[in-house]
């Protein structure tokens, strides 16, 4: 497997459009900590940026010998708002962005069954350019539960459309987030996102779900005994032969020293997983 760092780690807490660290500094930290790629989000560079800004972002990553594992090209998709699905209806700018950044994977959003035909059309256009589309396991989307995720993936029925496995969102939705989930997602698994969430009644944050209503939780460091145990997840990924990116998606800027978090998460994951 390959270790990737999402630029989400330096987004201002609960503000998808703002960042507390520039890309050059973040990539240098990632390189020093041993990550092999960066997962790019629109808080750093997206479809709203011009060609020169996009080229500069690509160079910032390339100068460290790193790749861009995936692109999230707008703010609406990670915000999961009522425009989260709109990228599917005009996928061309997102394909241009991914191509210009040298990435072959784009994260998209889907909120209703009526988005499925748009997903097919967008995947067909992406396939012409050798680019894949994927949806994260995420609350309040068509990919909130394992069963619905698999049903939607089968209905879209495109080889270049898949899923980003994220155990934290599955956890707050009361879903399995271990070997059973990974085996269900195996034919479509294109990326893995990791953030560590501890759901409990006195949690400082609240996340909305369709299946369980509002769920209170805390973000906790990787390795925290009250959080998700990632060791069996790494084992399960190995068992299904997954060799793609595992991306640290945890918002380090929320209560942690950024440099320490970036290093500690990488060190922890290397201690429980087999990474290049």
The residues pairing with 192 across neighbouring beta strands, listed in sequence order, are 165, 246
- Helices 92-101 and 51-62: angle between axes, nearest 10 degrees: 40
Q: Global pTM? A: 0.95
Domains of the chain, start order = 2-272 (3.20.20.150)
* pLDDT band of 15, cuts 50, 70, 90: low
Q: Which pLDDT tens digit goes with each residue over 144-190?
A: 999 999 999 999 999 999 999 999 999 999 999 999 999 999 999 99
What's residue 255's pLDDT? Answer: 67
Output the average pLDDT for the chain.
94
The rounded Cα 237 to chain-centroid distance in angstroms is 16
For residue 254, the model assigns a pLDDT of: 57
pLDDT at 20 over 90: no
191-211 burial: b if 16+ Cβ within 10 Å, else e: bbbbbbbbbeeebeeebebee
With cut-offs at 50, 70 and 90, classify the pLDDT of residue 18: confident
Read off the pLDDT of each residue in 236-255 and give the average, rounded to a whole number: 88
The alpha carbon of residue 224 and the mean position of all alpha carbons in its chain are separated, in whole angstroms, by: 21
d(CA 62, CA 251): 24
Non-local CB neighbours of 247 within 8 Å, separated by 6+ positions: 4, 5, 6, 37, 39, 69, 70, 191, 192, 193, 194
Tens digits of residue pLDDT in 41-64: 999 999 999 999 999 999 999 999
Confidence (pLDDT) at 58: 97
Query: Which of the four pLDDT bands, split at 50, 70 and 90, describes residue 263?
Result: very high
């Amino acid at each position: 497997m390959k270790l990737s760092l999402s630029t989400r780690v330096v987004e201002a807490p609960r503000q998808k459009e703002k960042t507390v660290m520039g890309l050059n500094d973040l990539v240098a930290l990632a390189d020093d900590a041993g990550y092999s790629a960066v997962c790019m989000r629109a808080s750093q560079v997206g479809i709203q940026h011009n060609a020169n800004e996009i080229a500069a972002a690509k160079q910032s990553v390339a100068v460290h010998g790193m790749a861009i594992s995936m692109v999230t090209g707008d703010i609406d998709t990670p915000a999961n708002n009522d425009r989260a699905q709109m990228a599917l209806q005009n996928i061309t700018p997102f394909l241009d962005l991914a191509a210009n950044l040298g990435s072959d994977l784009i994260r998209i959003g889907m909120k209703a069954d009526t988005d499925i035909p748009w997903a097919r059309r967008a995947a067909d256009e992406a396939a012409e350019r050798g680019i894949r589309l994927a949806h994260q396991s995420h609350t309040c989307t068509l990919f909130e539960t394992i069963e619905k995720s698999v049903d939607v993936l089968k209905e879209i029925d495109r080889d270049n459309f898949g899923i980003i496995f994220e155990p934290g969102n599955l956890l707050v939705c009361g879903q399995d987030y271990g070997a059973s989930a990974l085996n269900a997602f195996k034919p479509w698994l294109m990326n893995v996102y990791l953030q560590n969430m501890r759901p409990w009644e006195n949690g400082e944050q609240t996340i909305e779900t369709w299946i369980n209503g509002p769920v209170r939780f805390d973000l906790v460091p990787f390795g925290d005994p009250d959080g998700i145990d990632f060791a069996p997840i790494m084992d399960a990924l190995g068992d299904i032969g997954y060799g793609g990116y595992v991306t640290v998606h945890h918002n380090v800027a929320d209560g942690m020293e950024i440099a320490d978090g970036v290093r500690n998460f990488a060190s922890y994951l290397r201690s429980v997983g087999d990474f290049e």
